[in-house]
Structure formats: structure tokens, C-alpha cells
């Protein structure tokens, strides 16, 4: 097994990876910006290396600095977490070239799935259902022609997109030119490439994703689905498993379709296939070749430590179990707690004056926040994840109500009141929501 792993990330995911490493007897190296010198993962790691100023481009996205830190500290492997360089094929390649193991899929697999059009082609060839769509759109005239073929409404997407950026909807021909222009401009600003393509726009879908684990020997299992439909501006807010929208037959069917597709692709490591689900049909959206923010709810119902499995697979181990060995117990729900105004969603970094995390049976809080810690204003505003589980959805919901009431974070504004409002709505309680439901609720 690896003796020392460098964690190329920050925040709660860096602490999450550190914990998995410690339980496996592996030493850790934390890298951090000047702004994160007092972060909990830095304080707990065996070694820590400052890799640059607060700006991500000069620290957490600085490939050379991170690899240099790994070489200096003698790290065997690098775990990228999620965000930052986690799906950067060039970084994965650089890591391998320096004789260090990248804990994730091979660079060519990251590259293929990071290109949305190549990922779409791979999905089709491996038997995944896809949304009607176009090739790359070189100009507005081609875009108009494809919109007529596909039928309005359509959505223009960045070829190298992710996180909801570079996506614009056109409901009619009068809107297509504006949508095309804006999508290209946003794609260029976010991903340095202004290449876009088009898909049919589904108006009331749910967002369902399947967690996959695959080793380097061709063994692949799925760990069930997660429903990530509670979103605002294409950003997930609450996730749950199992999805209240699916019956057991649908659940088994899409799980096996995803598992089989990953097997055909020859993928290895943890990965997630995302789908839109509408009117009883699934449509492949994209594949994330990394750890997902919402992975803890899958761990809660399966008992499988996904980070530990990532590390084992990267070290050449076999999964050691087959699909028939996977069992699913109860329901789990995750709330992403952000340092934001719960009404305006304006970021609200600052000093934490009081911190009390809820506890009890079936409760998990992933966060590196502590009393007296100052949240820096330079990064994503998510500061904690509250994960609850119960024997069924009702039990999990009752536990979630209790834990949100118990959660104390003073000194800053957080989105805890928003979560309390969401889970009190009749539609959420009944499980009858789609990806637009939250924004519609907020507009009432």
C-alpha cells in the first residue's frame, strides 16, 4: 500500500481524504495556499506545504507547485479530491510522468469524458441512452439548422463544460442567436474554449446519477443511484438516495445499464454517470471521472468507503466483491451548507464565533470548520455537508429536521434556513420535484 499520499485539495474534501488515509495507515501531505494556513486538514496532516498565494490559479491550480511538493515530501501518490485539478487530464499525465500515482482514472479516460461530444459518442457506442443532439456548432446558421431538426426548446452547451457554465436555453427561433452567442462567450471565459453543441431541452426532468467503482482488472459494480434534482442555477443543493421517483425495476435497470457501459469503456476508479430522467426514460448527461461531493449518502446506504476504494484501486487492488454482494439499506439525504445569505445567496465569509455540529445515530457532518476559524473569501462557499440516514425516507426526513435545528454556526450567515424551508414543502415531502422545482419555489 502507499506509504504517503499528497492531498491536492482543500476544505472538507481534503479532510475527508486525510481521514481515509489515516484509517488505512497512510501518512498524508497537505498542500495549502497562504489563506488556508490554519485549515483543519493542514493542522492534522503529517506534513504541510504552502504552494502559493490565495488565488486558486497560483496555488490549488498550480500543477508544478503541487508536483514539486509531492517530490519534496516523497509522496507515493496524489489524490485530487473534487474540483480544482481532479478532472484535468494534463495534470494526471504530469503526475504519472514523475513516477507518482494519480488516484483516479487514466489521463486518456479523463480526457475522453471531459470532452462532452466525445463522451456522448462513447455513451452511444457503449449502449447508454442519450438525448437527441448535434455535433459541434461552428456558426449560428448551423445552430439554427440543428434547432429545427431537434425541435424547440433546445439547450446550447459548452463542449468542455461543467458546473452549469456555458449552458443557455432557447425556446424558439427568436431566442437561438442570443443563446448561442451567450453560451460561446461563457464557455470561452470559463473553459478557454468557445466550442458548443446542442441538445433537446427536457423541461421537467429529474437529475439521477449512478455511482460506479471499477478496478483495473475489469471488475465493475454500481452502488445505486442518487437523486440530485434539488438545484439552483444548475448547482446541487440537496441529494438523496434512493430516488423517490424510481421503482425497484427502474433502479435495477439503469444501474445495470451504467455498470455495463463502464465495463465496455474499460474505465477504472470511482466514477459517476449522470442522467436526466423524464416520463419514464433515462438520458445520459455526462460522466464525472472523480469523487462526487454527494458521495457520503451512497456510503451511508451501502457501507462502502468510496475514498478508500479509490486508493485501493489506484494501488492495484481488486474490488474483492461483485454486484450481488452490494446491499442497500435505508435512505440517506445530504444538505450542502454554504456560507451565503439564505435569501440573496450572496457569499458571506468571515469568522466563526460559535460552532456546534449535530450528532446522534445516523448523522454525519463533513466539514473542517471550527470555532474561531475564519472562512476565506477566495473559494467555493460550501463549508459543510450534513448527511443523515434512516431505515426509510420518512425516518431520514425526521432526522434531517432535527439535525438542522441542532446545527449552530454563528458569526456568518448560512443556508441552513433555506434547507429547513425546502424540506418543509409538501412537494419535497412527497418526493415530487424536478430540477426546476427549487427555483420555482424561490420565485413564489
Q: What whole-number distance in Å separates Cα of residue 241 and Cα of residue 397? A: 12
Q: What ranges make up the beta strands (E) of 39-94? A: 47-52, 77-79
Residue identified by cell 439503469 is 254
Cβ burial of 395 (10 Å; 0-12, 13-18, 19+) is middle
Is 290 tagged catalytic? yes
First to last CA, the chain: 54
Q: How many CB atoms lie within 10 A of CB 351?
A: 12
Residues 132-200, CATH architecture: 2-Layer Sandwich (3.30)
Q: What's 201's DSSP letter? A: -
- State residue 160's pLDDT score: 82
Looking at CATH, the fold of the domain delimited by 4-103 is given as Rossmann fold (3.40.50)
pLDDT tens-digit series, residues 131-188: 999 999 999 999 999 999 999 999 999 988 766 788 999 999 999 999 999 999 999 9
Q: What whole-number distance in Å separates Cα of residue 339 and Cα of residue 377? A: 10
- State residue 164's pLDDT score: 73
- State residue 163's pLDDT score: 66
Q: Are 444 and 425 in contact (CB under 8 A)?
A: no
Q: What whole-number distance in Å separates Cα of residue 103 and Cα of residue 26? A: 14
- Of 99, 88, 73, which Cα lies nearest the Cα of 7? 73
The ranges assigned to domains in the chain are: 4-103, 132-200, 206-443
Between the CA of residue 68 and those of 3, 51, 159, 415, what are the distances in Å? 18, 9, 31, 38
- Of 255, 266, 168, which Cα lies nearest the Cα of 217? 266
Of 206, 251, 290, 393, catalytic: 290
pLDDT tens-digit series, residues 270-290: 999 999 999 999 999 999 999
Between the CA of residue 360 and those of 172, 366, 400, what are the distances in Å? 52, 14, 11
Give Rg (Cα) of the chain.
21
Q: What whole-number distance in Å separates Cα of residue 28 and Cα of residue 77? A: 10
Question: Quick one: 206-443 is in which CATH superfamily?
Answer: ATP-grasp fold, B domain (3.30.470.20)
- State residue 63's pLDDT score: 98
pLDDT in tens, the chain (444 residues): 999 999 999 999 999 999 999 999 999 999 999 999 999 999 999 999 999 999 999 999 999 999 999 999 999 999 999 999 999 999 999 999 999 999 999 999 999 998 888 898 999 999 999 999 999 999 999 999 999 999 999 999 998 876 678 899 999 999 999 999 999 999 999 888 999 999 999 999 999 999 999 999 999 999 999 999 999 998 999 999 999 999 999 999 999 999 999 999 999 999 999 999 999 999 999 999 999 999 999 999 999 999 999 999 999 999 999 999 999 999 999 999 999 999 999 999 999 999 999 999 999 999 999 999 999 999 999 999 999 999 999 999 999 999 999 999 999 999 999 999 999 999 999 999 999 999 999 998
Amino acid at each position: 500500500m502507499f506509504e504517503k499520499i499528497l492531498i491536492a485539495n482543500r476544505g472538507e474534501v481534503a479532510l475527508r481524504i486525510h481521514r481515509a488515509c489515516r484509517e488505512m495507515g497512510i501518512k498524508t501531505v497537505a498542500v495549502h495556499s497562504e489563506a488556508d494556513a490554519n485549515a483543519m486538514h493542514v493542522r492534522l496532516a503529517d506534513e504541510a506545504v504552502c504552494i502559493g498565494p490565495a488565488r486558486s490559479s497560483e496555488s490549488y491550480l498550480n500543477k508544478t507547485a503541487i508536483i514539486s511538493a509531492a517530490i519534496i515530501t516523497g509522496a507515493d501518490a496524489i489524490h485530487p479530491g473534487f474540483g480544482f485539478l481532479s478532472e484535468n487530464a494534463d495534470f494526471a499525465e504530469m503526475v504519472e510522468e514523475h513516477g507518482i500515482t494519480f488516484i483516479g482514472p487514466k489521463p486518456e479516460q479523463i480526457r475522453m469524458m471531459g470532452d462532452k461530444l466525445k463522451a456522448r459518442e462513447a455513451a452511444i457506442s457503449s449502449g447508454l441512452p442519450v438525448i437527441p443532439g448535434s455535433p459541434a456548432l461552428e456558426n449560428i446558421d448551423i445552430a439554427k439548422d440543428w434547432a429545427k431538426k431537434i425541435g424547440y426548446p433546445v439547450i446550447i452547451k459548452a463542449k468542455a463544460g461543467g458546473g452549469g457554465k456555458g449552458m443557455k436555453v432557447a425556446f424558439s427561433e427568436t431566442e437561438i442567436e442570443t443563446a448561442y452567442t451567450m453560451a460561446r462567450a461563457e464557455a470561452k471565459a470559463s473553459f478557454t474554449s468557445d466550442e458548443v453543441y446542442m441538445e433537446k431541452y427536457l423541461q421537467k426532468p429529474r437529475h439521477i446519477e449512478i455511482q460506479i467503482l471499477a478496478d483495473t482488472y475489469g471488475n465493475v459494480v454500481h452502488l445505486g443511484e442518487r437523486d440530485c434534482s434539488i438545484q439552483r442555477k444548475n448547482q446541487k443543493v440537496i441529494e438523496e438516495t434512493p430516488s423517490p421517483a424510481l421503482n425497484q425495476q427502474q433502479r435495477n435497470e439503469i444501474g445495470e445499464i451504467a455498470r455495463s457501459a463502464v465495463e465496455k469503456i474499460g474505465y477504472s476508479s470511482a466514477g459517476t454517470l449522470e442522467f436526466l430522467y423524464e416520463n419514464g426514460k433515462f438520458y445520459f448527461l455526462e460522466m464525472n471521472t472523480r469523487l462526487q461531493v454527494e458521495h457520503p449518502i451512497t456510503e451511508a446506504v451501502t457501507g462502502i468507503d468510496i475514498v478508500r476504494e479509490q486508493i485501493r484501486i489506484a494501488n492495484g487492488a481488486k474490488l474483492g466483491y461483485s454486484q450481488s454482494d452490494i446491499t442497500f439499506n435505508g435512505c440517506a439525504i445530504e444538505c450542502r451548507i454554504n456560507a451565503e445569505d439564505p435569501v440573496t445567496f450572496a457569499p458571506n465569509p468571515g469568522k466563526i464565533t460559535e460552532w456546534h455540529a449535530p450528532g446522534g445515530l445516523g448523522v454525519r457532518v463533513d466539514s473542517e470548520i471550527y470555532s474561531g476559524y475564519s472562512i476565506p473569501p477566495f473559494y467555493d462557499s460550501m463549508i459543510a455537508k450534513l448527511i443523515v440516514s434512516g431505515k426509510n425516507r420518512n425516518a431520514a426526513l425526521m432526522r434531517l429536521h432535527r439535525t438542522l435545528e441542532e446545527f449552530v454556526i454563528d458569526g456568518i450567515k448560512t443556508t441552513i434556513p433555506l434547507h429547513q424551508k425546502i424540506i418543509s414543502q409538501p412537494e419535497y415531502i412527497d418526493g415530487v420535484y424536478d430540477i426546476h422545482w427549487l427555483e420555482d419555489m424561490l420565485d413564489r
